[in-house]
Chains A and B, each alone.
Chain A
């Protein structure tokens, strides 16, 4: 991490960029937050470890409104979102200096706490650039150890790959984290009867409190004003006025980001009610792959998206 910090400092001192977008340490070692570093002095609090799950791509929209260039730290999967935002003209390439940061998977604090680990005061071993696979967790109730690889977010267990799709330079090594098939759970749900599927999603979506964290964290949800924030429709943005709306909101959102969602998993990571929202998006990704051939949103800035381009070979409704 020190190497990364030093390099950012150097780039700022050499005036390559005017600020940096990275992560800042929190209170307990697991609550790092996204942060703009406007001066090299502020970099004292800079951190990059397994708890830096936040995808910074979307913050680039704000960074583009500022004077000069911004250094942005992107993990491999974050670069897909960055490309997608470029493609949608929401950010400008020349406003960013991209440091592709190595990644050995991001950590899920709820998974750690689900092991009965509470009262955490410090966590050692979360460093991204160390080859150690051991988290040493200090708590008020005693110390615990847990394998780093056992505490990964679901998205990291079925990682798309550790290659940065866009960067100016790369710092740090990445390590493979794949231990599950990305579409396994989707296939399981596809096997359910329609009644069982409905039950499954009703149970999950009935937990929704309409806090909109999924939407606001989502790099694909980058409309200047969301339709659900408009007061010109009957749809309410902050409460489910009926049980239909509670499902509708997430389904509409999934349709809206279909073909643009890079499966970064931020929606599920931020949900305060643990709703596995990524399942909707992944189903669409699977279907798009099946209907139009393998496609990975954000793998580059040039390729047309199957859903926004037309060819005579396109699948026809009812003729699959």
Chain B
């Protein structure tokens, strides 16, 4: 960012100058310095800062509009919820959104509009590498526009304190070429893969019997909850619990068995009462939700 570099260098020069003048002033014992003193107050205190700041404002403020200009067509609605991200893709002309959670995939080279809100408390949506942060405020809809240039794997996170596990509310961001994005979106729109026979099938039954579907949606199955994250393509996401753990079988076991310990005050109950075979089955089922 050019602005940062200019400000850091400029700031360092100013700090060195003022510091130097101060040291000189303290050491100098020359008489009749009144004229110089007055010049310092007027020049250093008023004239120089007035011009420098005016220039800085004129140069930097127009940058704001770039973050807010309209997007190219794709719109993503992100809702910050304690402590995860509900994500809805609205391709141009779509009538219903494609819902996913805790992962944002963006097409490279396009301007994507992101619309933000929250049903519970104030969160702040921030992908440091792409744009500044914008708050997600209950009762309001805020927006920002991002335009990532190159494919990349990035990280985003909540920047406004939002309760006990605010620290554990991040999300992976994948910037992919436009063609790959179209493919990803198509897969994401599809229903969940049917559970394979074996442990995964047992896991699916357990998932249903434990009532997981009361909170989670797995499209194409009976699970149609709307309280927690959509799990339709859970296995294709790189992390568990909104960036809390990597999406690996052992981490998933830890998550399922000690949810509230991994992520304090999380709404999901722990399933520590399940035996190892049952956990294995659940993990197998979830790992199949590609």
Real complex partners, A and B? no
B residues with CB within 8 A of A: none
